Amino acid sequence: MQTNEIDTAGSQGAPPPAGPRKRHAWVAGVGAFLVVLLVIGASIVVFAVVGQRHSSTQTPPTGQWQQVQQGYLFLSLEAAPSNPSVLYACATKSAVVSNQDGPGTVTILRSADFGGHWQDIGGHLLTGDACELAINPANSNEIYTVSISNTSQLSATLKHSTDGGQTWETIVPGLIVPGSATKVPWFVQQLRVEGKSLYGIQWLVPLPKELPSPPPIAKSLPRLVTSSDGGHTWSVIDNQFSTQVLGSQRYVLDPAHPGTIYELVGKPWFPVESTQPQNPIPGFAIDQALYKTTDNGANWHLLLHSLPFGSQLQIASNNPQILYVGGTPGPLPLVVPSGQPQQSLPNDPIGFFQLRVSRDGGATWKQATRAPGQSSIQNWFVSADGHVYASPTMTYSVPGGQGTAVPGTAVPPIRPTIVITPPAVTQPVGTPPLGGTPLNGSVNSVPPSYPDVQPSLAFILSYDPASDSWSQVTMPPTNGQLVQVTPVDASGGAALWFVGYPNNQFALYRYVV
């Protein structure tokens, strides 16, 4: 019985071996085919890389306003520190300006080309009108956001994505409060990522041993909290201020020195009756003070005290030794509970922008020259290299209210009523006050009063800390507000992001300095 067996030596059942010419031709053909495939594959990769580079890393043109989006109302916007062409924004689908309705449900948008194109990555991730967003400084695709539960008894959850928002995982955070017998609902505001840790501000009811007497009005105090395990467990790191009835208002992280944090604290004056996640309340306080820690909250050092009501805090990301404290003081609460001491008004009049700058990490401070021609600056931002960019001054009202904003987030007005630009005033001899008192002395004088002014459109201004001077940058393209300043590249360029409303429709504009 004869069988066909495969034998590499060439048995009786094996086919005759191919001749040398045919074998060489076959090998050459396969080789040529493989070379063609490699060339095509390499071409595809090259074109893909070039296309990606063209769409995501090409610096936008400088010195001109460009409308990059229309149809969304942008509430906040952040650039990824590791790749400034990647942007994330909290926005709501509000194409037409309306005085009747505030912003609807907020979503998250992503752009990989400096705002040229946007993708909605929020979907049904968020509910209500609150939006918290944090980007990993080392990875532009890793982001966190807070999702509020529809059930009032439950805490909010933390959503985490490592692919730029294409997919999300849900984290159920737990807040550790030593001595508390009840579960604390978790809802963090001002969410930030630095290194392997997350930070935020959480409203908490102080324990009796921490608070000898209740706050004047507020029954809760905002506390600075952190997580070192990706958001699963959180703990308070500024409990030292509870006994002084001081709540956390704002904070910034030093990107060059992990564990170094600057925090503004003060006595809250809001009638807080609950800490439900559905009711985030922005932090405003009187008698604000600035503290610094270099060991992640174990010890705090006082830098400034007696700061004006409504002060803000910002840092230069590429040069974190440059730090700013200031803002436009707002009116103090009109109603003071019986039995509580009356609060004195600040030395500087309400509504005048004041700014103090430190160029050595808060060790020493200088009063910045008052911005010319601006009585009130509501929105101001610090670029990566330490310049301040200030928004035009506007007053506005929104019948029926508007959505709750993230503390520290600029919310464009629904309908402006007037823009006021006071005339330039010659600065008096000496340094005008900020209203804050450094530890090494007191500054106390009253700035000159401004005459009556006429409404006009204001310039966007820039402050240079090296020369202590302001300059006009550009005229806004339309009525609106500056919502953010982001870096363009490592050389110090800055992109100004402006929400306007041409033809009664919201639009986002970009201007590269």
Query: DSSP 3-state helix, strand, coil percentages of the chain (rounded to 5)?
Result: 10, 35, 55
φ/ψ of residue 44, rounded to 5:
-60, -45
**332, 286 contact by CB (below 8 A):** yes
Whole-number Å distance between alpha carbons of 257 and 148: 32
Residues with Cβ within 8 Å of 32's Cβ and at least 6 positions away in sequence, in order, are: none
Other CB atoms within 10 A of residue 231 CB? 25
Three-state secondary structure call for residue 330: coil
Query: pTM for the whole thing?
Result: 0.74
Question: Residue 162's pLDDT is what?
Answer: 97
**Three-class HEC string of 353-370:** CEEEEECCCCCCCEECCC
Residue 319 makes CB contacts below 8 A (sequence gap 6+) with: 384, 385, 386
Phi-psi region for residue 34, left (φ > 0), alpha (ψ -120 to 50) or beta? alpha
- Mention every residue, 6+ apart, whose C-beta is less than 8 A from residue 116: 55, 60, 68
Beta bridge partners of residue 158, listed in sequence order: 146, 171
Rounded distance, CA 493 to CA 413, Å?
Answer: 27
Q: Give me the DSSP letters along 404-465.
A: PPPTT-----SSEEE-B-PPP-PPPSSPPP-S-EETT------PPPP----B-PPPEEEEET
Tens place of pLDDT per residue across the chain (513 aa): 333 332 333 333 333 444 544 444 444 454 544 444 444 444 433 333 333 333 446 889 999 999 999 989 999 999 999 999 999 999 998 767 765 555 568 899 999 999 999 999 998 888 777 789 999 999 999 999 998 866 555 678 999 999 999 999 999 999 988 777 677 889 999 999 998 999 999 988 775 555 555 544 456 789 999 999 999 999 999 999 988 888 999 999 999 999 999 999 998 765 444 444 444 444 455 678 999 999 999 999 999 998 877 789 999 999 999 999 998 765 554 444 444 444 443 444 455 788 999 999 999 999 999 887 666 677 899 999 999 999 865 433 333 322 223 333 333 333 332 232 333 333 333 333 334 444 433 232 223 332 333 334 568 999 999 999 999 999 999 988 999 999 998 777 899 999 998 888 899 999 999
Q: What are phi and psi of 40, to 5 degrees?
A: -65, -45
Quick one: pLDDT at residue 370? 87
Tell me the CA distances in angstroms from 376 to 320, 351, 352, 421, one per residue in order: 26, 5, 5, 9
- Closest listed residue to residue 85, CA positions, set 487, 409, 485: 487
Q: How far apart are CA 252 and CA 200, in angstroms?
A: 10
Residue 358: closest CA among 382, 329, 374: 382
* Residue 137: partners with Cβ closer than 8 Å, 6 or more residues away: 80, 81, 82, 193, 194, 195, 255
Using DSSP's 3-state secondary structure scheme, residue 159 falls into strand
Give the type of residue at 433. Answer: P
Please give the C-alpha separations between residue 363 and each of 127, 353, 360, 393, 442, in angstroms, as whole numbers.
43, 23, 6, 31, 16
Sign, Cα dihedral of 2, 6, 7, 12: positive
Q: What is the rounded distance in angstroms from the CA atom of residue 81 to the CA atom of residue 159? A: 20
Instruction: Enumerate domains of the chain plus CATH numbers.
Output: 68-330+348-413+459-512 (2.130.10.10)
Burial of 434 (0-12, 13-18, 19+ CB in 10 A): buried
What is the per-residue pLDDT for 72? Answer: 92
Other residues' Cβ atoms within 10 Å of the Cβ of residue 243: 12
